[in-house]
Amino acid sequence: MKNDNNIDGEILQNTIRILKDLIKFKTESGKPNLELIDYCEQELKKNGASSIKTFNKSKTQANLFSTIKGENSNNMGIILSGHTDVVPAVANEWTSDPYIAREKDDKIYGRGACDMKGFIACTLAVAPLFASSKLKKSIHFSYTFDEETGCLGAPLILDNFKKKNLIFSACIIGEPTNMKAINAHKGYNEYKTHFTGLSGHASDPKNGINAIEYAIEYSNKLMEIKNELKNRKVEKNLFSPPYTTLQIGKISGGIGANVIADKCYLEWEVRPINKNDGDFVTKKIDDYSKNILLPKIRKNNPKGNIEKEIVGEVVGFDKEDTSEAVNLICNLTGDNSKDTMSFGTEAGLFQKSGISTVICGPGSVEQAHTVDEYITHDQLKKCLRMLTALNDQMAN
C-alpha cells in the first residue's frame, strides 16, 4: 500500500486531533449540530471540496454533503457516510467528562468516539490525500443528523439526490463493525404510545380513568405479540437472534400514589427481520388498541384517548447476491468474510435509493452507547489503511 508508512505517523495523529475536536461538540440527537457541520465543511474546504447542506425545518440541524471531484465526471464516485449525532451521556457516570476526549493506553475515550465520530475523523484526515491524487472518480463525504432517533436526516440528502438525478458507484457506511463488511441488518421501528385518562382522587376510583392501568394492558398485549414473533418461521434467516424482536424501553406517567393518573406513555421498539413482521406488529397492536382498549377508556371518559406516535421506521438492509460495495470493501481490507447485524443504520435507506451499500467502520458496537465509550488506535489505523487503499485504487 502506497501510504502505509504514514498511517502510524502524521495521518493517525491528524485523525486523533480531529476526533478530539469532534467529541467536543455535544451533538446529542435532537440537538443542534451546526457547529460540528461547519467544522467539517471547513476541513473539507481546505482540500478543495464543494459542499451542500440540507436542513431540518427549524434550521437547527443540518446534513453535509461534500465532494472532491474526480476526472471522470460521468462516474459519480463513492460516498463515505457517517452520522454526527450521539446518544446522551450522564456525566457523573463517566470516569471523565464525556465531551472532553481522554487518551489512555492507545484508546480515545469520549461520547461518540466509537459511534461514530471515529469514522468521520478518519475520512477528514484522509481528505488531503484524496485532494492531492488525480482521482478517476469523485469521492463524497456525507454527514447526517439524528440517525439515532429514526434516521431523520439521511432522507433529506437522498431526496436531493433524486431531484438532481445523481448516481453513485457505492456507499460505505462507517458504523462500528471492527472493520468487517456487513451486508445485511434488521429494520428498526420506534414508537411512543400516549394514554389519556381522567384524573381524580385515589380514594374514589369510579370518578377517574387510570391511564397507567391501560398502559399496562397495552404492554401485556405487546408481550403477547413479542412471543408470537418468536414462532414466525422464516427460511434462510441471517440474523441473531433469528426472529423479530420487540422491547418496551420506558414507561412514564402519574404524579403520585394518591392521584389517579390521567397521563402515561410507553416507548417501545421493533426490529423486524422483514417488512411482513413489521406490518404484523402494527396490525396486531393497532387493532387491539382501536377495538378493545380504547372503548374501555372512553366508556367513562369520552375524551380518553390512545395515540401511537411513530418516532421512526427505518427500513432493513437486505443482503444482495452481488454487491459492488461489499466487494469493494473486501478488496480494500483483504478480508472476504461478511456478516450481518441486528442494530439499524442508514444503510437500508441508501440501498433503497438504488446505491450499492456496505457497512464497515472502526470500533466495536460493544462500545457504542456505553459509559466511558472509546475507540482504539488500532481500529483507527485499520480504517485509515482501508481509506488510503481506496485512494490508491481510485487514483490514476
**What is the number of residues in the chain?**
396
* Amino acid (one-letter) located at 367: Q
Least confident window among 140-149, 172-181, 309-318, 329-338: 309-318
H or E stretch covering 195:
strand 188-196
**In angstroms, rounded to a whole number, what is the distance separating the alpha carbons of residues 264 and 254?**
7
Taking a C-beta distance cutoff of 8 angstroms, is the pair 343, 82 a contact? no
Q: Quick one: three-class SS letters along 284-340?
A: HHHHHHHHHHHHHHHHHCCCCEEEEEEEEEECCECCCCCCHHHHHHHHHHCCCCEEE
Residues 6+ apart with CB under 8 A from 364: 114, 176, 178, 379
The verdict on whether omega for the bond into residue 241 sits within 30 degrees of 0, i.e. cis, is: yes
Domains in the chain (CATH in brackets) are 4-185+317-394 (3.40.630.10), 188-314 (3.30.70.360)
pTM: 0.87
C-alpha cell recorded at residue 160: 436531493
Residue 376 has pLDDT above 60, yes or no: yes
Range list of H helices, the chain: 4-6, 12-24, 34-45, 118-132, 154-164, 211-230, 275-288, 294-300, 324-333, 347-352, 377-394
Sign, CA dihedral 358-364-366-369, equals negative
pLDDT of residue 396: 66
pLDDT for the residue numbered 2: 47
Strands 102-104 and 78-83: unpaired
Distance in angstroms (rounded) separating the CA atoms of residues 137 and 142: 16
C-beta separation of 316 from 274 below 8 A: yes
Q: Residue 21: is it exposed, middle or buried by C-beta count within 10 angstroms (0-12/13-18/19+)? A: middle
Instruction: Name residue, grid cell 465532494.
Output: 67
Give me the percent of the chain exceeding a pLDDT of 90: 84
* DSSP label at residue 72: -
Say how many Å lie between the first and final Cα of the chain, rounded.
Answer: 15
pLDDT at 293 over 90: yes
Output the CA–CA distances (angstroms, integers) from residue 90 to 95, 99, 222, 250, in the order listed: 11, 11, 30, 17
* The three cell numbers locating residue 363: 470500533
Structure confidence by residue, pLDDT tens digits, 183-231: 999 999 999 999 999 998 989 888 889 999 999 999 999 999 999 999 9
**198-211: pLDDT as tens digits:** 998 989 888 889 99
Q: Are strands 107-109 and 139-144 parallel, antiparallel or unpaired?
A: unpaired
- β 170-173/357-359 pair status: parallel
3-state secondary structure of 161: helix
For 113-142, what is the mean pLDDT?
96
Mean pLDDT of the chain: 93
Rounded-to-integer distance, Cα 2 and Cα 385, Å: 10
pLDDT of 3 above 60 = no
Task: Give pLDDT, residue 206.
Answer: 82
Interval 48-81: pLDDT, tens: 999 999 999 999 999 999 999 998 766 679 999 9
H/E stretch holding 57: none
Cα 324 to its chain centre, rounded Å, is 22
Residue with cell 465526471: 73
**Hey, which residues does 189 pair with through a beta bridge?**
270, 313
Residues that are catalytic: 85, 147
pLDDT of residue 301: 82
Q: Residue 1 pLDDT more than 50?
A: no
Mean pLDDT calculated for residue range 285-305: 92
Partner residues linked to 52 by β-bridges: 65
CB contact at 8 A, 338 and 73: no
Q: How many CA atoms lie within 13 A of 325 on its CB side?
A: 29
